[in-house]
Amino acid sequence: MAFSGKHPTCTLLLLLSLSLLSLHTLLHRPLPSPASAFLSSASNSTLSAYLRRLTLRPHLAGTPLSLPSALLVHSHFLSLGLPSQITNFSALLSFPSLSSLSAHFPNSSSAALLLHDGGAADAAVVPPYHAYSPSGSAYGAAVFLNYGRERDYAALAARGVEVAGCVALVRRGMGMSRHEAVANAAARGVAAVLMFTEGGVREGVERGTVMRGVGDPLSPGWAGGERLGVDDPRVAGRFPAIPSMPVSESAAEGILATLDRERMPSEWRESFQSGERRFWGVGPGPTMLNFTYKGEQVMSTIHNVFAVIKGSEEADRYVLLGNHRDAWTYGAVDPNSGTAALLDIARRFALLLRSGWRPRRTIVLCSWDAEEFGMIGSTEWVEQNLLNLGSKAVAYFNVDCAVQGPGLFVSATPQLDDLLVEVLKQVKDPDSENAYVYEQWAAANRGVKQKIQRLSRVDSDFAPFLQHAGIASVDLYFGLDFPVYHTAFDSYDWMVNFGDPLFHRHVTVTGIWGLVALRLADDPILPFNYLSYAAELQEYKNALNALVGESISLDPLAAAIEDFTTAAYEADGEIKKLKVDENTNRLTLLRRRSLNDRLMLTERGFLDPEGLPGREWFKHLIYGAGGDSESKIEFFPGVSDGISGKRKGGDEEAKIRHEIWRVSRAIQRAASALRGGLTSKW
């Protein structure tokens, strides 16, 4: 009943009860919630100090400086009173021993080209190289392949350019992985590949891995113990057949400017980020390149570091927060802006623990090693713990390059969308006064249908958790791209001068990471909403409709999504009813556990034991990279393969049909997992 306030007795009663109420609140001031206590313990100077310590020396996985960085994180956790452990693995890593490159120009001058980042590095910084490149030498005419895509070779072929036997220049971009660019070149008889990155620090050289897939190449799908031989086709097939090497943009331009004979396609010329218009030729020649790379593959010890905050009520349910620690160089952005945030989360959770808080579920902080070689530390650990993670992991929240610059980017599996949006509305924006990060993020994405991106990329440690183990996942960072990526210039100084001078973006990342973790760990009912997953699947079906045409029926997919949507509505109703019943103190403990288990396990339904065609380790049929980066869709990777095969003129209809059936069955499995009942009714 609404109170009008006109009746004098009512007014008196109201005043009396209001003053009693305020007296009551004064006497029993509620403890600050863990969320607000967590937010109020933020400290940008602490984050800055952590980052400074983490980035004093380079700490590439498998090198002598890697263990001190693991011990730094381990002792930090221990000093806070958090149980911590270092878990080691042996894995095949790859290091350079020698490289040289010289150019012989048409005017018969020649030059040895610089193969390190001009000036920035101390001797402990690894010279630029491509991990897992085979050793080899090549002498050949220089040729430019643009990004090395199918269409780029087609454009060259149309101009009569022969690339076989050449030493090729390739620019990074268009979603092409290093492996794909080099493998495409090898398939066309190119002798060696030099790769450069546009828009970075001009003298910087971007290191990186050219291994296909993730994890230790000698133990694909399991964690150590049995090892394949390096000549086993399952191992050798993951490395390119020809040597490659990264070079600086300025070195690449020095070569490009001397190529002539064939005219460069105008769209290539116009798309140079430097606005450079002096490149007219693609070669081959007349400049000749003489290239040698010698590297070694070494069994190395890698160190994952963990801290655990044990759950008080459901110790056997895990909320995992992860970040890799290994860096190509000093790693101030990649990945130690995230590591600084992880250390700060530990500090602030330790403060909460001292004030009496205990999470309901267990929180695990994970500091991974050897991510840069191909997510090796996280992958081995996920493989080692597959069954227990599969049955007990609630979610995985990854933060890699936490701060690259301004602007928030969030990716997640869709059942976490609502939770993320709620948290973004509670954390202050780092770059505007009195605004929450949600407002800026929503404004920056105005008109973008899907503000939260999905996790089909295979570029950080969420890949094993989501794409192999089917665990609901989040990935988050500030800034899109940064000019010192994988170069010796990725240092604390760069962060202070350009990336985040006041460390406010670090504070915001830490706030979001911590609040999401608190909700996942403490909410009695898991904050998962599968209606957004259902809506997202429906969008994918509509997009697919436009791509595959009339001849391929999407009926099984439509039926599966309809069933999934019904299950999502049922779960939503069940969550609401359970909340009411919990308020009226009915016996709800087992009901809640059963519901939470179903909310947790639904994501696993999207896994298929056979995995994706040609890359069976990737089990998730909704999210994962397409077999080639030119595929147009960023969901249903198996279907995506068929569609790009069809575009290349293959007869792929049967394959596409089969993949659509497989996706449909996966969605049905997820719907069944959400309902939790058997299909037989009795």
Which residues would be at the binding site for Zn ion (CB under 5 A)?
334-335, 400
Q: Which residues lie below 8 Å from residue 451, measured CB to CB, with a gap of 6+?
A: 410, 441, 442, 445
- Exposed, middle or buried, 240 (CB in 10 Å: 0-12/13-18/19+)? buried
Residue with tokens 């546009």: 198
CB of 410 to Zn ion, least distance (A): 17
Residue with tokens 């969420």: 462
Residue 191: its H or E element? none
- Amino acid identity for residue 395 in this structure: A
Task: Tell me the two tokens of residue 241.
Answer: 């057949």
Nearer to Zn ion, 323 or 510 (CB): 323
CB of 213 to Zn ion, least distance (A): 17
Nearer to Zn ion, 203 or 334 (CB): 334
Q: Where are the alpha helices (DSSP H) in 28-105?
A: 34-40, 44-54, 66-79
CB of 307 to Zn ion, least distance (A): 20
342, 321 in Cβ contact below 8 A? yes
CB of 327 to Zn ion, least distance (A): 8
CB of 556 to Zn ion, least distance (A): 39
Task: Tell me the two tokens of residue 646.
Answer: 């069809």
CB of 56 to Zn ion, least distance (A): 19
DSSP code for 449: S
Nearer to Zn ion, 334 or 659 (CB): 334
- Annotated active-site residue 314? The verdict is no
DSSP class per residue in 502-514: TSHHHHHHHHHHH
Among 371, 372, 536, 634, which one carries the catalytic annotation?
Answer: 371
Nearer to Zn ion, 206 or 334 (CB): 334
Strands (E), 463-610: 473-478
User: How many Å apart are CA 336 and CA 367, to the nearest integer?
Assistant: 10
Nearer to Zn ion, 128 or 527 (CB): 128
CB of 324 to Zn ion, least distance (A): 6
Grouping H, G, I as helix, E, B as strand and the rest as coil, residue 304 is strand
- Amino acid identity for residue 364 in this structure: V
User: How many Å apart are CA 23 and CA 44, to the nearest integer?
Assistant: 37
Nearer to Zn ion, 149 or 486 (CB): 486
632, 644 in Cβ contact below 8 A? yes
Nearer to Zn ion, 314 or 400 (CB): 400
Nearer to Zn ion, 172 or 519 (CB): 172
Task: Tell me the two tokens of residue 199.
Answer: 């828009």
Strands (E), 58-135: 84-104, 110-112, 130-131
CB of 667 to Zn ion, least distance (A): 32
DSSP code for 487: S
230, 92 in Cβ contact below 8 A? yes
The neighbour count for residue 153, using CB atoms within 10 Å, is 18
Spell out a b/e string for 70-97, using b for 16 or more CB atoms within 10 Å of the CB, else e. bebbbebbeebebebeebebbbbbbbbe
Task: List residues with catalytic annotation.
Answer: 371
